[in-house]
Amino acid sequence: MLNFDADRFVGIQAGALALSGSLSDCMGRCVADGLETVYFMGSGGAGILMLPAAQLLQQRSELTTYAVSPAQVVGNDIVRLGPGALVIAPSLSGTTEETRLAIEWCRARGAKTVALTGRSGSPVGQAADFEFTNPAADDTSSESFYLQSLLIVLALMRERKELDDYDVINAELGKVPALLLDAKRNAEDYAPAIAAAIARDSFHIISSAGNSWAEAFYYGMCILEEMQWIRTRPVHSADFFHGPLELIERNVSVILLKGEDGGRALVERVERFARTHEANVLVIDTRTHALPGLSENVRRMVAPVVLATILERVSAHLEVLTEHPLTTRRYYRKIAY
């Protein structure tokens, strides 16, 4: 595979899953201390990667759950943000200043804080009550953060007696790193063509729904815009027919990500419309990958992880076609802002 280290990738994703026991113990203590509210609080892409976990908890637990931006927390009085609240704060570098300040703000108000980082002992990790670290980089962090946040949610539901099949799910998740590697190998057959289509057009609409919306949002903003400087409009499929549909005409580029939960029907509705009006439609569908050994329930949960792992293969080819390395920036972490 192009520019890819299989052992490194599998090791990082296995490392994320290896945090299961310690994350579970931490969540058990939080529940025992009277947990009432959960905040997933990440900046930029790291925060976006928390959305599937937040959605799962909102749908399947009685816990009050929010996904909020750290920059909008500091300086605001939030009624439920205090004793009884748990803040989950991801930061790959561990140096994201907005996230560090938000952790300090939340701790000062009595909330418990958990940092998920890619570097142990970082400023973000030191600011939190608990730090969990899985060394990763931009090309492996999406899957790692998706899996860690999923482990947190599963542990919370188990501790609250809201999940009966925790051990079964956890056992299936252990198969995921190897299955993701298989998905990458399979995606290598079609990733170059998708990358070529993306490179060809100067503007894209990227859309999805359900728990896979996070990956459309993330890929459009953090990869195509930040890392490739390609103008992209992430649009939730539920919102597509409330404005963006008027941009559809012949040869407009539409990228669609299909997962396996209830949001899939919304994506398919967008696809039918876009094809009817002769848009250039690219579809990436997790159902085209076998993922043997995973139940339908777990397949739904990990669909965003599978999409992220496929899209990394697209990105690897895209940066070659555009002659624009994914690490090249003009402004991000280059200047003060």
What local confidence, expressed as pLDDT, does residue 336 receive? 86
**Predicted pLDDT at 241:** 98
Closest CA to 143 of 209, 90, 221, 206: 90
C-beta separation of 206 from 216 below 8 A? yes
Residues 191 and 230 in one domain: yes
* 151/186 same-domain check: no
- The answer to whether 286 and 303 are in contact (CB under 8 A) is yes
151 shares a domain with 55: yes
Whether residue 299 sits in one domain with residue 186: yes
Residues 163 and 205 in one domain: no
Give the Cα separation of 263 and 240 in Å (integer). 13
Range of the domain at 219: 180-322
What pLDDT score does 77 carry? 85
- Check whether residue 135 and residue 210 sit in a common domain: no
Q: Report the pLDDT value the prediction gives residue 183, as an integer from 0 to 100.
A: 98
| Domain match, 46 and 106 both | yes
330 domain residue, yes or no: no
pTM: 0.97
- Note whether residue 327 is domain-resident: no
For the residues of 206-266, what is the DSSP string, one character each?
EEE-GGGHHHHHHIIIIIIIIIT--EEEEEETTTTTTTGGGG--TT-EEEEEE-SSTTHHH
CA distance 158 to 57: 12
Identify the pLDDT of residue 337.
84
* pLDDT tens, position by position, 182-207: 999 999 999 999 999 999 999 999 99
H/E stretch holding 114: strand 112-117
Residues of the chain with pLDDT under 50: none
Count of structural domains within the chain: 2
Say how many C-beta atoms besides its own lie within 10 A of residue 162's C-beta. 15
Domain end: 123, 158, 173, which one? 173
Tell me the CATH number at 44. 3.40.50.10490
17-55: per-residue pLDDT in tens? 999 999 999 999 999 999 999 999 999 999 999 999 999
Question: CA separation (Å) from 260 to 107, 210, 264?
Answer: 37, 8, 6
Side chain identity at 211, as an amino acid letter?
N
* pLDDT score at 264: 98
Of 144, 173, 202, the position where a domain reaches its end is 173
Residues 153 and 263 grouped into a single domain: no
- CB contact at 8 A, 80 and 86: no
Does residue 337 fall inside a structural domain? no
Q: Quote the distance between the C-alpha of residue 217 and its chain's center.
A: 9
Check whether residue 94 and residue 231 sit in a common domain: no
User: How confident is the model at residue 220, as a pLDDT?
Assistant: 98
State the Cα–Cα distance between residues 292 and 33, nearest whole angstrom: 39
